[in-house]
Amino acid sequence: QLDDKRKTMSEVLSALCYIHSANIVHRDVRPKNILMTKRGAKLTGFHAARHVGHERPLDSWDGCVNYRAPDGICDVWAFGCVLMEIEIQRQLFPGDSEIDVRREQQRVFEGSCFLDMLPKNDRTPQVAEIASLCLCDDRCSASEALLHPYFITTPSTFLGGPLYTKLEAHCR
């Protein structure tokens, strides 16, 4: 059984996987746009979303600067920020301006390992690994992150069993 944090983040990744398969980029993944319901986490805040190929360039940004990748927009980057924030209980890249946020990103990447930032528990190495895969230049896709062992107990129990197989086929 997945614990609450892993279940929430796997549901967010599932939503990203689904919209990315439809060539939609959310462009504003952040805690404010994750709604918790009785049935689980829902990704909201699609005001900035764009279809890949939309006339407005995808490198323009409407979302929050604290979740913006240094190279432009990326839902997976923002997901990595949210994942870390859930674990460390504070904003990963604080700042009031893009310059402040970029300075903080540089500080983190030059001097810190995600493993060192996390509270020590049995899931720390896996969370650090996922953060490293999401928060880098050559980041993973939402579907690759979703298939990380951290989010899977066994294929038969993950998100109710058959859905895992369906999602895996749909997202590849």
Whole-angstrom Cα distance, residue 3 to residue 52? Answer: 34
Exactly one of 3, 28, 75, 96 is catalytic; name it: 28
The yes-or-no answer on residue 28 being catalytic is yes
150: Cβ contacts below 8 Å, ≥ 6 apart: 6, 123, 126, 127, 129, 130
In 3D space, the residue among 124, 37, 25 whose CA is nearest the CA of residue 83 turns out to be: 124
Using DSSP, state whether 42 is helix, strand or coil. Answer: strand
Q: Which residues belong to the active site? A: 28
